[in-house]
A and B are shown apart, each in its own frame.
Chain A
Amino acid sequence: MTFLEFVEGPLLWIAFLTFIIGTILRFVLFFAVSVKKDKIVYQYFNIKWIALTILRWLLPINRDILKNPVYTICGYILHFCLILVPIFYSAHVLLWEEGVFEWTWWIMPDVWADWMTLVVIAIIIFFILRRMISADVRILTTATDYIALVVTALPFVTGYFATHGTLGDAISVDTLHLVHVLSGELMLILLPFTKLNHYILFFLSRGVAGIEFGRRGYSI
């Protein structure tokens, strides 16, 4: 088995399984501890308050849009693109179709994927600069925040160059392709265990906040 075969075969399985099991574990861990230690959450458990607060902050209809419009809107665009591109990019869908499951779904035009990738890269550069320049954000920033940004940027940067071959002879397309797959796998593996875990914690954290203020009769 060549290294590429390993990366595209077993490692891919490991990455996806880590991502899926890690996600489930995160939820299970929260519920296991909270049942004993956070009884108030269950006493006032209320789907309405949970749904309202999650929707308000999942969609750009919250108070931060008015308070910090540039950063907040960039955040929404970033998340929108970085979820959609990997799922609906033509070459990815083709791989799913050729894979063991033979799944297939809607494909986005390649030109969309191109632009959305550039947008992701641009916003991540902006976020990195913001972390370095803004005194407020700099004081809060830890190494994990940079790691999260870089890990997120890598698959998009390598994917873009691998697709367009614009690096010429400096790095071969095959190498780029390998690095691209590796970086995607790295991201999947790290998602549940680094700052990127907010794709899970967002729902839990907003949920408990929704309950805490819902108890008081209003939605936050």
Chain B
Amino acid sequence: MSAQAPQEAAKPPINTDAIWEFLKSRRSARLKLWMDACAHCGLCADACHYYLANDKDPEMIPSYKARLLKQAYKKKGKLDEAFLDECYKRAFHECTMCRRCTLFCPFGIDMASMISTLRSMLTSSGRAPKGLAAAIENYLKSGNQMAITEEEWVETVEWMEEELQDEIVGATIPINKKGARIMYTVNAREPKFYPMDLQLAAKIFNVAKEDWTVPTYGWDDTNLAMFAGDTKTARYIVEQTFKAADELGVEYVAITECGHAYRANRWEAEVWLGYKPKQKVIHSVELFAEYIRSGRIKIDPARKLSEPVTYQDPCNVSRSGGLEEDARFLMNALCTDFRDMNPHGNLNFCCGGGGGAMPMGGEMRKDRLKSGKVKADQIKATGAKYLIVPCHNCFDQINDLNKEYDLGIKVIQFKELISEAMIIPEEMIPKEEDEE
């Protein structure tokens, strides 16, 4: 309801032929099926956090938003500015493509895919949100969303390696190590703003005696092009990552605690690429759970988090990732007072920061915070003091919600929790006991 129109200045003229060509190229059997099957029953309404957070505004019903795609096909791409404006508002400002509605639809209609197609249509006609368009430019220029150069990346890695060596004797962050088991990839925000994230991951890998490496390109596993529906760039991004993985001959591509990065590399990459990558893609949640299950990482029971703590299921880790149970295994292994939200797991509510809502920046802020009310209420109801979340977008959004709705929680990732509670083997502990 409250969405601003896209940047006024940058609206290119409408090319209805190009829109129709685009729509035709995307008309798959499933898309057609979903557009035809909807019985307009309304059961998806209260599955949506936008609907619930906006006083049950009927215009927020997933089926209502997704209907625009059917109209676009009916109009054979002959769309005017007003129609495209509505598409922009519904597709970018009123849906995070979290797919919760699909789980309540009697037909299992993938409304998020319909919204994603609308986003593609807008992006292909030059109407992508500024924040996403800027990121796409960066990917194409530098291979990562933050335009970090290879030199800067390597410097950051080396710096973090040095820092880590003060903590763990003989710790390394191997760069371009051929034949390693795991190639670890990160969210470009980490080297840019949170280099400690890389250090924490490295600490866990070193203690687990993992055979791992980081590449010099293809290391940004994020894929904001996916949110804009720019499949060409989305494919280019994952191509870089798997090219690096092929070159290094690794077995796994590991993804940092980021939801959409996992979605893009694990589930969508093969669709964009048209072939299945050689490497298995593994999310940090899976990897850490594997370490603890197998005993490669041992947790000191006395150092488990004892304060009340809850877990945010990122949509792309749980519902669209299938890692609901691994996350709960980790929570129980690392915390003594774990309180699940209601609902949770595959049925969780989106935090409001997904689907590109965070990187869309200022234009989205108001809608984002409003739609996050559902999540804020859920968190409050648990009485938790801490919240664990393995996703950068959720992380930022929940930190914003924390301020906006006065939740009084501390938001952390699994890395921090594991790093605090894991038992570091004697030989890895520095001898000189200078206090930090």
Contacts and interface: CB of A to CB of B under 8 A. Distances in A.
Interface in B171-188: none
A71 interface: yes
Contacts of B43: 64, 67-68, 71-72
B383 interface: no
Contacts of A204: 33, 37
Contact of B42 (A34, A57, A137, A197): A137
Per DSSP, are chain A's interface residues mostly helix, strand or loop, or mixed?
Answer: helix
Nearest to A204: B33
Given A139-B64, A142-B40, A209 B322 contact: no
A218 B36 contact: no
Contacts of A201: 33, 36-37, 107
Contacts of A67: 43, 46-47, 104
A61 interface: no
A218 B107 CA distance: 17
Given A57-B106, A206-B107, A197 B30 contact: no
A135 B178 CA distance: 61
Contact of A205 (B45, B104, B107): B107
B28 A38 contact: yes
Contacts of B107: 198, 201-202, 205-206, 209
B267 interface: yes
Interface stretch (B55-63, B120-128, B350-358): B55-63
A140 B42 contact: yes
B39 A195 contact: yes
A12 interface: no
A185 interface: no
Nearest to B27: A37
A64 B104 CA distance: 6
B430 interface: no
B402 interface: no
B104 A63 contact: yes
Contacts of B131: none
Contact of A208 (B33, B58, B324, B347): B33
Interface string B104-138: 10111110000000000000000000000000000
A198 B58 contact: no
Interface in A184-220: 195, 197-198, 201-202, 204-206, 208-210, 212, 215-218, 220
Contacts of B371: none
Q: For this complex, into which size category does the number of interface residues on chain A fall? A: 35 or more
A37 B110 CA distance: 16
A202 B37 CA distance: 7
Nearest to B266: A216
B108 A206 contact: yes
Contact of A63 (B37, B42, B58, B103): B103
Contacts of B67: 140
Max chain B CB contacts within 10 Å: which of A135, A139, A142, A215? A139
A215 B42 contact: no
Contacts of A145: 39-40
B302 interface: no
A205 B103 CA distance: 12
Contacts of B46: 67
B30 A208 contact: yes
A166 B281 CA distance: 69
A204 to B, nearest CB: 6
B322 A137 contact: no
A53 interface: yes
A34 B30 CA distance: 7
Max chain A CB contacts within 10 Å: which of B29, B47, B324, B347? B29
A35 B28 CA distance: 10
Nearest to A130: B42
A111 interface: no
Interface in A56-109: 57, 62-64, 67-68, 71-72, 75
A136 B37 contact: no
Contacts of B277: none
A206 B40 CA distance: 16
Max chain B CB contacts within 10 Å: which of A71, A75, A136, A210? A136
Nearest to A37: B28
Interface string B195-217: 00000000000000000000000
Contact of B322 (A31, A195, A217): A217
A42 to B, nearest CB: 11
Interface string A22-59: 00000001111110011011010000000001000100
Given A208-B108, A216-B267, 19 more contacts: A37-B28, A40-B270, A43-B276, A63-B103, A71-B41, A139-B61, A140-B61, A140-B64, A145-B39, A145-B40, A202-B107, A205-B34, A205-B109, A209-B107, A209-B110, A210-B108, A216-B320, A218-B322, A218-B346
23 contacts: A37-B30, A38-B28, A38-B29, A38-B30, A64-B104, A72-B43, A75-B41, A136-B42, A139-B58, A140-B40, A140-B41, A141-B40, A142-B40, A201-B107, A202-B107, A208-B30, A208-B33, A212-B110, A216-B267, A216-B321, A218-B322, A218-B324, A220-B103
Report, nearest first, the 9 A-B pairs whose CB atoms are least far apart: A209-B108, A216-B322, A34-B29, A33-B29, A37-B28, A140-B40, A201-B37, A217-B322, A205-B107
Interface of B: 27-30, 32-34, 36-37, 39-43, 45-47, 56, 58-59, 61, 63-64, 67, 102-104, 106-110, 267, 270-271, 276, 320-322, 324, 346-347
